[in-house]
Amino acid sequence: MRRLHALDPAEAPGKSRDLLTEIIGRRGSVGDMVSTMAHSPALLQGYLDLSRALKRVKLPRALSEKISLAAQEWIGCATCLAAHTEAARANGVSDSDIVLARQGAAVDPREAALIGFALRVLAEPSGISDDDVAGLRAHGWSDRAIADVVGVVALNLLTGAFNLVAGIEPATAS
């Protein structure tokens, strides 16, 4: 059930109006989540800034999408799962790897370690130990990659939680 409604730029608070107008000017439209986030100019600005910044992570895009799939499966956001499934396919991730990612796993042990770590960041960050980080380093992951995972997880928590609170459902084929 929809709890928060999407805003047209004309009905959005000042800063959100400006942000929505800018996005529409560049892309032609805004998505349902973004126009609904417009209720809070601070949230909308924060989401846009974090999303833009995380486009520069050093993780391969396919792996970032696998992490997002694992996180969204745990969070339970069907809208985000649909979006990240589409993005994963667009980045060459096979259907079987999508299934594995949603289970928090991967065929490649190095990727599996990072995906499992991402789920720990999401579910139990206080339980992460020196040994966990050392294990990632033993798999060849840099401190930058480890830090990037925290950012990817944070963005997924933001979008998934927002969509669930707002009651945003995946678009259905007509």
Q: pTM to 2 decimals? A: 0.95
pLDDT at 173 over 60: no
Q: Give CATH 1.20.1290.10 domain extents, the chain.
A: 59-166
| Residue 88 burial class via C-beta count within 10 angstroms: exposed 0-12, middle 13-18, buried 19 and up | buried
CA distances from residue 94 to 7, 111, 116, 122 in whole angstroms, order as listed? 36, 15, 19, 24
Q: pLDDT for 129-156, tens place per residue?
A: 999 999 999 999 999 999 999 999 999 9
Domain 59-166: CATH class, spelled out: mainly alpha
Q: pLDDT for 156-167, tens place per residue?
A: 999 999 999 999
Q: By the 8 A CB rule, do 9 and 17 touch?
A: yes
Q: pLDDT for 25-59, tens place per residue?
A: 999 999 999 999 999 999 999 999 999 999 999 99
